[in-house]
Structure 1
């Protein structure tokens, strides 16, 4: 997750081995192309974490999941699939069973099969309004997402929150000790609020900060792990950890 977070303004941890990287509502195709971006992420995870992985890229969370499935299962994608062209998207959807779509379980899949909906492409071509009447608004939203309209928020695609991350990149580069501590503290506030919202406590936390992997002066990364003797959701307790970690965490002349 730390490695993936370097490449994106926002990350959502979906499960222990899967995450969504969010590039923003107004993001345009990067100059090198989305496939090249996906390959950069895939190679970085393979090189640094030594884990085989696949990357799926799409305009909605559901299509990103579909793309990830295609990257793993459909020959020719080589571990990275991008569904930014309608013709490619439709070709992939036609090869996927309807139960391969995120949110369509076996029981729901059998009901859809009974109506002649066997593939993801056939689901995408159903009338969303009719689908809502026959099933639910969640299935309607899935149909809309398969057609490129964002309907799911992170809250509706997030898995069980046994880990909470807050890893948004800073607005600008940080080089000053106090600015780095303040930035980490702002992340801590968000995490503590999320803990309290779901009525949870944490027994451990990890801090990390990096420079950009594209900087000419070389890449720098520092992480710090802390175990709480008593589990907590108190922001003040997390602030104390940040304060204690800063002297070994901060390095002069690094543009965080």
Structure 2
């Protein structure tokens, strides 16, 4: 059996781990610069808070409804996700971490034995991390997603939390599939859903009744696999080993206030490049192609839109921070001083394992061989992000354009000075 373990309202649950006052209260988590609601607790959903609503529209009524807002705490969410996945992995020989809050694992045994295993997973994760999880179990990944939908729509999580698709009779399983809109299925997006609706395919049961070969000819092999999986035949491969290498790395952010000068944009690009170089080294990779871009707001009516972009092929594949920073700085020369840029990013592509191709002595980037990158990593690991920077990225105080997170909770698992204080 395949079990899909999903964290319930993950971002909101993370906020509650170190702040018990948020239990049973409606919690919303905001996007970059405290812009829009991107996640919420079940209590906020019950109140009818729309996903994506701008905070400035919700804020006037938040206090009267008891809604608590938090800025996105990416460090905390990433740290707790790693802990949750480690605990889940203790219960199976095979695990595929699917996203920050979802993980597939394999389980063996009778229906009742597997259900008991799912309950133990829930108990262990709650005890070790404080995060509530739900478990959907079935013979295929797609049906495991279906089982998980059943958990989400059933009784409160404190009483339920594990659903084994095989525990139901064939008639009951057909009824379950008939209750699920086809657009709720894994991999069926809105546009594909509209095309299926034109063929009178509206539910998961309707799709399961289709001829797999015809679905492949009319749509794609992906939809054929979905049909077969709904019928109980495993078709989506189990990734027993996580992908070791990434295809690309991206670092992009919106600014809390617009960047309007060339020096400020150089500062942005230097900081972004340093962050990307560190991620590249952590992944054990090197990059050959760099792209940098910036953009104005599409909603600004008092200035002409401008989205400059550059691409460069680096001299050799590298994770050397000086080379990556220099490559990105060319974008700063393309901005129009006085124009209000609200977002920028740096992208690294053509990635390959580090050390795959050796460079002849004297022909590599200027900083190559001096261990500058690992030295920066060591300083940041000991003294924290922002303790050291390269060139324009070496800042004594945070820049004014830095992402605004006015309602940020403590990063209790990654920053020593933000450890939680326990009072008895």
- After TM superposition, give the deviation of residue 115 of structure 1 in Å: 1.1
Distance 2:190 2:95 in 1: 29
Distance 2:95 2:235 in 1: 18
Does the Cα contact within 8 Å between 1:202 and 1:233 map onto a contact in 2?
Answer: no
Distance 1:73 1:118 in 2: 19
What's the counterpart of residue 147 of structure 1? 231
Asked if residue 49 in structure 1 is aligned to residue 134 in structure 2, the reply is: no
Distance 1:11 1:88 in 2: 29
Question: Residues 146 and 202 (structure 1 numbering): CA distance in 2 closer, same or farther, change over 3 Å?
Answer: farther
Question: Residues 9 and 116 (structure 1 numbering): CA distance in 2 closer, same or farther, change over 3 Å?
Answer: same
What's the counterpart of residue 91 of structure 1? 175
Does the Cα contact within 8 Å between 1:126 and 1:143 map onto a contact in 2?
Answer: yes
Question: Residues 82 and 121 (structure 1 numbering): CA distance in 2 closer, same or farther, change over 3 Å?
Answer: same
- After TM superposition, give the deviation of residue 144 of structure 1 in Å: 0.2
Question: Residues 12 and 133 (structure 1 numbering): CA distance in 2 closer, same or farther, change over 3 Å?
Answer: same
- After TM superposition, give the deviation of residue 33 of structure 1 in Å: 2.4
What's the counterpart of residue 3 of structure 1? 87
Distance 1:4 1:87 in 2: 32
- After TM superposition, give the deviation of residue 52 of structure 1 in Å: 2.0
Does the Cα contact within 8 Å between 1:58 and 1:83 map onto a contact in 2?
Answer: yes
- After TM superposition, give the deviation of residue 87 of structure 1 in Å: 3.5
Distance 1:78 1:56 in 2: 11
What's the counterpart of residue 188 of structure 2? 104
Q: How does 1:159-238 map to 2 (within 5 A)?
A: 194-196=243-245, 198=247, 201-203=280-282
| TM-score normalised by structure 1 residue count | 0.59
- After TM superposition, give the deviation of residue 202 of structure 1 in Å: 5.0
Distance 1:204 1:230 in 2: 13
Distance 1:197 1:52 in 2: 30
Asked if residue 133 in structure 1 is aligned to residue 133 in structure 2, the reply is: no
- After TM superposition, give the deviation of residue 47 of structure 1 in Å: 1.9
- Bigger strand share: 2
Write out the 4+ residue segments of structure 1 that deviate beyond 6 Å after TM superposition.
Answer: 229-232
What's the counterpart of residue 251 of structure 1? none
- After TM superposition, give the deviation of residue 196 of structure 1 in Å: 4.2
Deviations 1:31-68 (A, max 9, x none): x4222111111121122211122110010011111111
CA RMSD in angstroms, aligned pairs only: 3.0
Larger radius of gyration: 2
Does the Cα contact within 8 Å between 2:181 and 2:204 map onto a contact in 1?
Answer: yes
What's the counterpart of residue 204 of structure 2? 120
Distance 2:185 2:123 in 1: 26
Distance 1:57 1:65 in 2: 8
What's the counterpart of residue 29 of structure 1? 110
Does the Cα contact within 8 Å between 1:203 and 1:230 map onto a contact in 2?
Answer: no
Question: Residues 197 and 115 (structure 1 numbering): CA distance in 2 closer, same or farther, change over 3 Å?
Answer: same
Distance 2:172 2:95 in 1: 26
Distance 1:134 1:144 in 2: 15
Distance 1:131 1:20 in 2: 26
Distance 2:87 2:281 in 1: 22
